[in-house]
């Protein structure tokens, strides 16, 4: 189960008996709409760490999380990460096409070298699971020489004895290659943490390597929702590191032009929005991308509505990063922003839909726009492109003539010219209490 810092602070999981805890990060500027200080935020996560009993286990990111939270731990801690301080290490990662002749899925190396792509990798009895995407993220991991035994004793029912790792086998299998449909470096360490949890609980490296490629990305986690006539990636990027990772994925995918629609984070304060704007400008300039920024006015809950100071902080970050018109456009409303992006796209281009709650309806608006968009020849992108989104956008029917469907049943006027949200427009909805 997921445990948020708010949930730990409010005691909502006090009665849960955890066997294994995983701390994926401790992010500065995160959740300061709830926690008065960063120290308060860290202490709330430390409270969760302390809930894991001494006969349990903890996987903890070897960066800021381990430095600040390690002192709270009662259970054995196995750090993971990219650096030498991690007992479970991500040695390398590469986004490769599935058509790559050396792409054999995932495997285990029994020697001290990185897994080779010459057919020597282990695939399991049924071979690697085919993925629906044309790319896969290949991760090479170095495993700990051994795992504390406490958690395994409590998790013996997860796999039959033949599927669990014998002590002598665990010492020999030190390198593991895993393919995942989750694209991007920001998701790679989450996969590493999940792999570590499965291994610690007693599953074999073979089982893990065979299972991970079969998991489709969760909704809005670098989710490829359209591939023709242009590619669309939808991600709930809400921090500078996740924005950078999404642009990193984009740089590795074949495309002509790159357009990004970004929804400002409402109700999260000015500091994170300035940092996001600055990072967005740096990434867009490096990629030569056009950025369309929106306040998603009318498409968020009151607590997630963008406040005037947050909007201005994001724009200030963009300006500080050197991104100016015509490379940046601003819209109060999300459907107008998506429509402006689509108007700039053609075959072979790449569209990024980026943002947290303010971008949740982005894919639905995109589908509606593609369904109605017609050019002089009777169709521009056409219904085929809209139909391709059906698997990702549930329940989003075509809008009535001249109007767009807004999640929740409200209607909005058809898209218009570029607009700059005013303080009055952004202040219409009070921020409300923060969770």
pLDDT at 365: 96
Pairing of β 223-226 and β 135-142: unpaired
- Phi–psi pair at 259, nearest 5 degrees: -125, 135
pLDDT for 117 beyond 60: no
Terminal CA-CA length for the chain: 19
DSSP conformational letter for 120:
-
pLDDT for 308 beyond 80: yes
Q: How confident is the model at residue 435 (pLDDT cuts 50, 70, 90)?
A: very low
pLDDT for 127 beyond 90: no
Which residues pair with residue 140 across a beta bridge?
92, 177
Q: How confident is the model at residue 216 (pLDDT cuts 50, 70, 90)?
A: confident
pLDDT for 139 beyond 60: yes
Mind listing the pLDDT tens digit for each residue in 357-383?
999 999 999 999 998 865 534 455 655
Q: Choose from 12-16, 102-106, 222-226, 255-259 the range with maximum mean pLDDT.
A: 255-259
pLDDT at 108: 39
Residues 6+ apart with CB under 8 A from 39: none
pLDDT for 230 beyond 90: yes
- Phi–psi pair at 276, nearest 5 degrees: -65, -45
Average pLDDT, integer, range 22-30: 79
User: Rounded distance, CA 179 to CA 141, Å?
Assistant: 11
pLDDT for 115 beyond 60: no
pLDDT for 52 beyond 80: yes
Mind listing the pLDDT tens digit for each residue in 394-418?
433 333 333 333 333 333 333 333 3
pLDDT at 29: 64
User: Rounded distance, CA 2 to CA 23, Å?
Assistant: 10
pLDDT for 207 beyond 80: yes
Average pLDDT, integer, range 203-214: 90
Average pLDDT, integer, range 302-307: 94
Pairing of β 88-97 and β 135-142: antiparallel
pLDDT at 136: 84
Average pLDDT, integer, range 410-428: 39
Cα 121 to its chain centre, rounded Å, is: 28
Q: Which residue has the higher pLDDT, 134 or 403?
A: 134
Total count of residues recorded for the chain: 435
Average pLDDT, integer, range 285-309: 95
Q: Choose from 220-229, 292-301, 419-428 the range with maximum mean pLDDT.
A: 292-301
Average pLDDT, integer, range 332-342: 96
pLDDT for 434 beyond 90: no
Average pLDDT, integer, range 272-280: 96
Average pLDDT, integer, range 222-244: 91
Mind listing the pLDDT tens digit for each residue in 154-196?
544 444 443 333 333 444 458 899 999 888 887 899 999 999 9
pLDDT for 121 beyond 80: no
CA distances from residue 328 to 76, 194, 275, 322 in whole angstroms, order as listed? 49, 38, 17, 10
Q: How confident is the model at residue 98 (pLDDT cuts 50, 70, 90)?
A: low
pLDDT at 106: 45
pLDDT for 110 beyond 90: no
Q: How confident is the model at residue 69 (pLDDT cuts 50, 70, 90)?
A: confident
Average pLDDT in the chain: 76
User: Rounded distance, CA 62 to CA 73, Å?
Assistant: 14
Average pLDDT, integer, range 268-277: 93
The answer to whether 407 and 418 are in contact (CB under 8 A) is no
The answer to whether 192 and 90 are in contact (CB under 8 A) is yes
CA distances from residue 357 to 41, 45, 256, 353, 364 in whole angstroms, order as listed? 21, 23, 29, 12, 14
pLDDT for 84 beyond 50: yes
**Would you list the domain boundaries of the chain?**
5-81, 88-214, 223-426
- Among 3.40.1190.10, 1.10.1660.10, 2.30.40.10, 3.90.105.10, what is the CATH number of 5-81? 3.40.1190.10
Query: In the numeric block, which tokens belong to residue 87?
Result: 């007992």
pLDDT at 104: 41
pLDDT at 385: 59
pLDDT at 27: 73
Sheet of 328-331: strand order equals: 223-226, 231-235, 350-354, 258-263, 290-294, 328-331
Average pLDDT, integer, range 320-335: 94
Q: To which residue do tokens 């893990």 refer?
A: 208
Superfamily of domain 223-426: Mur ligase, C-terminal domain (3.90.190.20)
Which residues pair with residue 415 across a beta bridge?
none
Q: Which residue has the higher pLDDT, 378 or 145?
A: 145
């Amino acid at each position: 189960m997921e445990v948020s810092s708010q949930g730990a602070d409010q005691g909502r999981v006090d009665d849960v008996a955890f066997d294994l805890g995983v701390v994926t990060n401790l992010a500065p500027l995160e959740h300061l709409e709830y926690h008065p200080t960063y120290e308060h935020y860290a202490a709330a996560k430390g409270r969760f760490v302390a809930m894991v009993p001494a006969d349990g286990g903890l996987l903890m990111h070897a960066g800021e999380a381990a430095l600040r939270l390690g002192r709270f731990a009662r259970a054995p801690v196995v750090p993971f990460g990219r650096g030498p301080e991690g007992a479970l290490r991500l040695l390398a990662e590469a986004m490769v096409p599935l058509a790559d002749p050396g792409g054999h899925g995932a495997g285990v190396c029994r020697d001290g070298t990185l897994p080779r792509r010459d057919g020597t990798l282990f695939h399991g009895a049924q071979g690697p699971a085919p993925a629906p995407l044309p790319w896969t993220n290949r991760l090479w991991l170095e495993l700990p020489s051994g795992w504390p035994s406490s958690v395994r004793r409590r998790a013996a029912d997860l796999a039959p004895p033949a599927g669990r790792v014998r002590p002598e086998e665990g010492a020999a299998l030190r390198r593991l290659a895993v393919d995942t449909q989750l694209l991007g470096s920001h998701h790679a360490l989450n996969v590493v943490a999940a792999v570590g949890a499965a291994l610690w609980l007693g599953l074999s490296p073979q089982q893990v390597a065979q299972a991970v490629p079969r998991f489709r990305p969760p909704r809005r986690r670098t989710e490829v929702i359209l591939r023709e006539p242009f590619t669309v990636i939808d991600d709930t990027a809400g921090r500078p590191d996740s924005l950078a990772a999404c642009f990193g994925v984009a740089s590795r995918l074949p495309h002509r032009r790159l357009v990004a629609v970004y929804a400002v984070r409402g109700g999260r304060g000015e500091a994170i929005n300035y940092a996001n704007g600055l990072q967005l400008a740096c990434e867009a300039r490096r990629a030569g991308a056009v950025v369309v920024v929106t306040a998603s006015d009318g498409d968020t809950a009151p607590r997630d509505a963008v406040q005037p100071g947050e909007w201005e902080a994001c724009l200030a970050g963009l300006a500080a990063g050197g991104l100016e018109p015509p490379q940046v456009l601003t819209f109060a409303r999300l459907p107008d922003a998506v429509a402006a992006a689509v108007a700039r796209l053609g075959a072979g281009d790449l569209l990024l839909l980026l943002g947290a709650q303010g971008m949740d309806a982005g894919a639905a608006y995109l589908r509606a726009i593609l369904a109605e968009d017609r050019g002089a020849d009777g169709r521009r992108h056409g219904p085929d492109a809209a139909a391709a989104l059906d698997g990702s956008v549930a329940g989003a029917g075509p809008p009535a003539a001249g109007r767009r469907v807004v999640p929740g049943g409200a209607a909005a006027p058809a898209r218009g010219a570029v607009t700059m949200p005013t303080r009055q427009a952004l202040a219409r909805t009070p921020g409300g209490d923060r969770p």
